[in-house]
């Protein structure tokens, strides 16, 4: 396995960054997680645009134009040689000194890792997941816009720890006003009376690529959707609930804070959206190779 580090491919065990890198020291940087399905890099243009938009907000200069970074991602995926992959693209401020001053980091750093990922055991995708609401609130949008996908995930990690302490794998995070924001690494959706709802970015939700894909699928299916401000009441009284994310994909939720959601089983609209997503993720993106069902290159 090779990792792209600042223009060169090196064995994973030899990949290095400086201990003075401000991404390591302060979380000063941005990243994207990207999926590859049967040789198709899912929604690569959208991921690249979000990465460059995030960097722009941080006044972080990515040292490659989009087309060259795209080519580097494609080459990294091609070298890995697997039909299904998870790609992590990291742009850090680069090496500086022990102070915060970003101007003392003359050269940003780019790292691209292509590997596999499985965030949740497979049975949760068929049986559903349990969530709890945690005390840790989502970082306010006036402090850090959630559309910036930065390297600093301490807010989410603290919420994840609370969930684990409660004996579950994932948490519902509220914003400072008590409205639903998102889970620790995934967007949140719920269904009520045939309509699909998800918290808006103004409430503290990341504008997820998978989230947007699900909204596109719902629109194609003629399912009414709404983004807005919602409370735990809306979750407790929902007919269905699920999470979305690049790593997680679509995971049904059947229990929240001890309340059974709907029938306590993954719902029919969730299943339809998952089926639509499986088709979308293999046809929307940058196709670099074609694989047979057994994973061999066609």
Indicate the DSSP class of residue 296: -
Confidence of residue 15 (pLDDT cuts 50, 70, 90): very high
Residue pLDDT, tens place only, 226-251? 999 999 999 999 999 999 999 999 99
Confidence of residue 92 (pLDDT cuts 50, 70, 90): very high
Alpha carbons 33 and 236: distance in angstroms, whole number: 30
> Per-residue DSSP letters for 216-251?
HHHHHHT--EEEE---HHHHHT-SEEEEEETTTEEE
**Mean pLDDT, residues 48-73 taken together:** 97
Residue pLDDT, tens place only, 159-204? 999 999 999 999 999 999 999 999 999 999 999 999 999 999 999 9
209, containing H or E segment: helix 209-221
Indicate the DSSP class of residue 187: E
Q: Is 160 a catalytic residue?
A: no
* 209-221 helix and 268-280 helix, angle to the nearest 10 degrees: 110
Sheet with 285-287, edge to edge strand ranges: 8-11, 2-5, 109-115, 85-92, 29-37, 40-42, 285-287
Residue with the two structure tokens 């990207």:
34
Checking phi first, is residue 43 left (phi over 0); if not, alpha (psi -120 to 50) or beta?
Answer: left
Per-residue model confidence (pLDDT) at position 293: 67
pTM for this predicted structure: 0.94
Domains, the chain, in order of start with CATH, read 2-115 (3.30.470.10), 123-280 (3.20.10.10)
Residue 222: both structure tokens together: 């003629």
How do 225-228 and 240-245 pair as beta strands? unpaired
Per-residue model confidence (pLDDT) at position 291: 75
Facing residues of 297 across strands?
291
How do 240-245 and 259-260 pair as beta strands? unpaired
3-state secondary structure 5-54: ECCEEEEHHHCCCCCCEHHHHHCCEEEEEEEEECCEEECHHHHHHHHHHH
Choose the catalytic residue: 149, 160, 211, 274. 149
Indicate the burial class of 158 (C-beta count within 10 angstroms; 0-12, 13-18, 19 or more): middle
């Amino acid at each position: 396995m090779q990792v792209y580090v600042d223009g060169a491919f090196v064995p994973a065990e030899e990949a290095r960054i400086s201990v003075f890198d401000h991404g390591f020291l302060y979380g000063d940087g941005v990243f994207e997680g990207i999926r590859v399905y049967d040789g198709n890099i899912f929604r690569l243009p959208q991921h690249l645009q979000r990465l460059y938009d995030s960097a722009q907000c941080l006044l972080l200069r990515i040292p490659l134009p989009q087309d060259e970074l795209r080519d580097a991602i494609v080459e990294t995926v091609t070298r890995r040689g697997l039909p299904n992959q998870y790609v992590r693209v990291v742009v850090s401020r680069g090496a500086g000194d022990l102070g915060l001053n970003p101007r003392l980091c003359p050269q940003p750093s780019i790292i691209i890792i292509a590997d596999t990922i499985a965030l949740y055991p497979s049975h949760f995708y068929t049986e559903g997941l349990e969530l709890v609401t945690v005390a840790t609130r989502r970082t306010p949008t006036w402090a850090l816009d959630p559309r910036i996908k930065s390297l600093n995930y301490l807010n989410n990690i603290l919420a994840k720890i609370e969930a684990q302490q409660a004996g579950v794998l994932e948490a519902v995070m509220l914003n400072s006003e008590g409205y639903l924001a998102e889970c620790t690494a995934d967007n949140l959706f719920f269904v009520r009376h045939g309509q699909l709802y998800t918290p808006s970015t103004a409430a503290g939700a990341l504008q997820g690529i998978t989230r947007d894909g699900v909204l596109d699928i719902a629109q194609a299916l003629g399912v009414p959707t709404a983004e807005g401000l919602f409370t735990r009441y809306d979750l407790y009284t929902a007919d269905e609930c699920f999470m979305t994310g690049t790593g997680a994909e679509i995971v049904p939720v059947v229990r929240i804070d001890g309340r059974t959601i709907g029938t306590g089983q993954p719902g029919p609209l969730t299943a339809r959206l998952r089926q639509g997503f499986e088709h979308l993720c293999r046809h929307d993106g940058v196709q670099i190779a074609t694989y047979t069902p057994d994973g061999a290159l066609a």
